[in-house]
Structure 1
Amino acid sequence: MKIERSNAVRLVRFLAGLFFRRVEVSGVEHVPTSGGGILIAWHPNGLVDPALIITGFPRRVVFGARDGLFAWPIVGRLMRALGTVPIFRATDAEDGNVDARRQANRRSLDAMARAVCDGGFAALFPEGVSHDDPFLQELKTGAARLYYRSKQLCAENGIPPVIIPVGLHYDDKTMFRSDVLVEFHAPLVLPRELAAPIPEGDDEALRARSSELTQVLEPVLQEVTHATESWELNQLMSRVRSLVRAERAKRAGVNLKAPDMAERSLGMARVWKAYYARLRTDPDGVQALLDRVEAYDSALREVKLEDDDLDKPPPIESKWLPVLLAAQAAVVFLVFPPVLVLGLLINAAPYFLINLISRIASKQYKDTATIKLLTGLILFPLAWLIFALLVGLGQIELHNTFAGIPRAPWRAGITTFLIGAFGGALALVYLELVKRTWTSIKIRA
């Protein structure tokens, strides 16, 4: 059965919204309303990266993807439905026929360039491979070649393509119900010599210009992704961002709410800019400060608190406070669980099985979220269906044993299926509420 593109896009958006608690999108105003272009982004999270771009981009976009991915049973069908174009890398040639793969790759490049000339957007990850590093891998020239090929084919309609950098910022890229930001930046303004078209057939000029443009794209991507040399340093910069935010709020007398991912990204950009500026003039002082931040970060992690928690008011001196806390705990921990227990029971087995499969099957950390999404797409509905069948059969047995019980296996099965689906979602909300309540109790203690 063929999957329509609109349905495939809806499915991708649904899965992204299911996996992540919040998908924030910023910079949509930078996307031109007419003409085509090319999106470039780093590639830290496997198939989740293109899914998020599809989720947030306001116009039609096609992707280029390694041809081997089309052989995956579910992923391949979904990619074809989305109009994904296979990319044939010469380095992947197992039969030794490198020239044939290069020819096929040229046809794929032309297909993406035509999509751009038709007013759409093509998206590429110039690194050519997904990875777990906090810094960019060496960029390939594919995005630059696509840009110049698009300019050649778009010469007739007079609307040159644009290049839009995309920042993908994950709160925790493998954590279920974490946050993510998709940030579309302003189209690049290229030097006149790089923006000039290349005559068709001039392969030498194409190679030279593509290399030059790729060198321009690299620092741009480094800036929009907040690339760094280690995850440890990245964590310390995140702590500095949070600490500065909390301190500014305290001095202004403002009660802070949890920052969204757009605010986090802006704060990180400012912290990194200040870090590199100070590092050039006082490297010893910067290292001493990092040592202090590391000790502070470890202390907060030990008690599982955030910077702004330290400035919250002390416990209210009231004899009714213990009563209020007891009532709050009773509602959260005694009233809610009976409503959610069936949802937890039905979804517990697939949840733990998905985590086990992702640990075993993930060759690299960056594959974890992709595997969780794909296995969850199968295992959760399968668990709901199995429980629905068991309950339906059990209802028939009850009817046969106790004649007074009406025969309604379909009603019982459908109800169980819905409890599995919606009970699991409610359980997530409940667990987040429990976490916030526990943090609140620790602050008040």
Structure 2
Amino acid sequence: MIYRILKFLIAIGIRLYYGEIRVKNKHNLPSNGPLIIILNHPNTLMDAWVVGMICKQPIYYMAKATLFDSKLKLKLLRGLNMIPINRQGEGKIEGVDNDDSLSECYKVLSEGKTLLIFPEGTSYKERVLRKLKTGTARIALETEKRNEGKLGLKVVAIGLNYSAQEKFRSNILIDIDKPRGVTDYLEEYKKDSITASRKLTSQFRTRLEKVLLTTETTEEEELVESIYKVINSRYVKSKDRKKGVQGEVTQMKEIKNRIDEIKILQPWIIEEIRIKIKSINWKLEKMHIRADFLDRKFRSAMFFRQLFSSVIFILIALPIAFFGIIHNILQYLLSDWLIPKLSTDVEYYAPLAVLVGLVIYPLSYTSFLFLGHYLFDLRFFGLMIYLFIMPISGLFAYWFFKYLRHISYKWQYMFLMVDRKDTMSDLQQEKARLKDLIFDT
């Protein structure tokens, strides 16, 4: 009961916090067990919540024992289907025994339920897929062994690709691989459990890399992201390119694959790419425009019409945005102030924002409802409409300020194209040369 209530509330929080949440190949996710879900782990608690949100069946989670450091937490988290495990180097938590926890995992899977495990073990905000622990493979193979290989246990790999995991209204692509059994390794496991577990773990890694945008190092990650930010453009049409977060991940994979090829065939070009990226970004910052504006076609009459229409829209939309600010700004600022005090780790920012928001926003909205009833004598239907409008107007206000920033870039671009056309032309050519250097080398 507690699990279902919290799943519902957290799902609301996730959908409000993130913008686009796209699930790719959802048909690959079984709706019943016995099933082990493996996934990458860049965003602490949020990773488990996101997968729990898209799964119909209840999920059991393996979690580090340090989360269960009091009797109250132990009781609460156990009610949320969380199974504690003492990790090497973190000491032992009273009341947590690894043998008992592993036995519970075998039992959960043998009963046809679903178990979620993070084979990396720890959470890091990066696209580097770290070394996988062999524990997941051992649990899968031991469960099949105890059921004489007749259980039909499946393992499904899920890749969580965040555009900017800690940022409000950023996007997520959830990519799901086909479920596979583990019995091919069972006979070897009976003879040599260590070797069989390592081989299965290697397969897990290959499957996770298939559904993820991964890099070998954080330096490579920074290079791929910096290239994407410069060459990506909403103003370049492509029939083959998908829209939204799926298109973003696809394009970044293409960049990553191309960088890998260049490193092998022409490694000296990598430094030239870094220099060009740095030069373009420096000029863009000085000019106060975005990189994608370099791909816009400029016609002064069209720009003036667009800007005039934008001014009219801003004047009309301003009261709605102001309403949203009044009803949401205090909660937003309070959350922004409180979360860094609760944890300095960026990996905890998004889950803490959702948890804090689930407390602060309902309390503040309830206060506004009381004021609405007291000051304006609003009745049930009026209060329900008021309650519905408050969060919607808050999201609109957030979008509205992003729109104002976009218009400011558009104004700046127009002035630059009129007053410094040659400089803009040089910068456009520099961006074109960067593309040629990466994709036509």
TM-score (norm 1): 0.78
Residue equivalent to 2:353 = 372
Aligned partner of 1:233 among 220, 228, 231: 220
- Give the 3 Å change call, closer, same or farther, for CA 222–73 of structure 1 in structure 2: farther
In the alignment, residue 179 of structure 1 is paired with which amino acid?
N
Structure 1, unpaired ranges of 5+:
396-405
The answer to whether the 8 A contact 2:331-2:364 is kept is yes
SS of the counterpart of 2:2?
coil
CA distance in structure 2 between the partners assigned to 1:415 and 1:311 by the alignment:
43
CA distance in structure 2 between the partners assigned to 1:262 and 1:361 by the alignment:
33
The answer to whether the 8 A contact 1:89-1:105 is kept is no
Matched, 1:336 2:332: no
1:302-338 deviations in Å (ceiling 9; x for gaps): 55655543222112437xx646633421321x22222
Matched, 1:281 2:265: yes
Residue equivalent to 1:388 = 369
CA distance in structure 1 between the partners assigned to 2:163 and 2:39 by the alignment:
17
Structure 2, unpaired ranges of 5+:
416-441
The answer to whether the 8 A contact 2:43-2:124 is kept is yes
Aligned partner of 1:109 among 83, 93, 105: 105
- Give the 3 Å change call, closer, same or farther, for CA 336–33 of structure 1 in structure 2: closer
Residue equivalent to 2:41 = 43
RMSD between aligned alpha carbons? 3.8
Matched, 1:426 2:396: yes
- Give the 3 Å change call, closer, same or farther, for CA 283–325 of structure 1 in structure 2: closer
Aligned partner of 1:213 among 200, 211, 228: 200
SS of the counterpart of 1:43?
coil
The answer to whether the 8 A contact 1:64-1:86 is kept is yes
In the alignment, residue 365 of structure 1 is paired with which amino acid?
V
CA distance in structure 2 between the partners assigned to 1:221 and 1:280 by the alignment:
24
TM-score (norm 2): 0.79
- Give the 3 Å change call, closer, same or farther, for CA 58–412 of structure 1 in structure 2: closer
User: Comparing 363-372 with 132-141, which one deviates more in the overlay?
Assistant: 132-141
Residue equivalent to 2:133 = 140
SS of the counterpart of 1:63?
strand
- Give the 3 Å change call, closer, same or farther, for CA 90–291 of structure 1 in structure 2: closer
> How far 1:123 sits from its partner (Å)?
1.6
CA distance in structure 1 between the partners assigned to 2:94 and 2:360 by the alignment:
39
> How far 1:417 sits from its partner (Å)?
4.5
- How do residues 34-183 of structure 1 correspond to structure 2 at under 5 angstroms? 36-57=34-55, 61-69=59-67, 83-89=81-87, 91-94=89-92, 101-115=97-111, 118=112, 120-155=113-148, 158=150, 160-183=152-175
The answer to whether the 8 A contact 1:49-1:168 is kept is yes
CA distance in structure 1 between the partners assigned to 2:116 and 2:123 by the alignment:
14
Paired residues, number: 415
CA distance in structure 2 between the partners assigned to 1:55 and 1:291 by the alignment:
43
The answer to whether the 8 A contact 1:246-1:256 is kept is no
SS of the counterpart of 2:124?
coil
1:187-229 deviations in Å (ceiling 9; x for gaps): 468794x354744xx8xx3344323433443455456433335
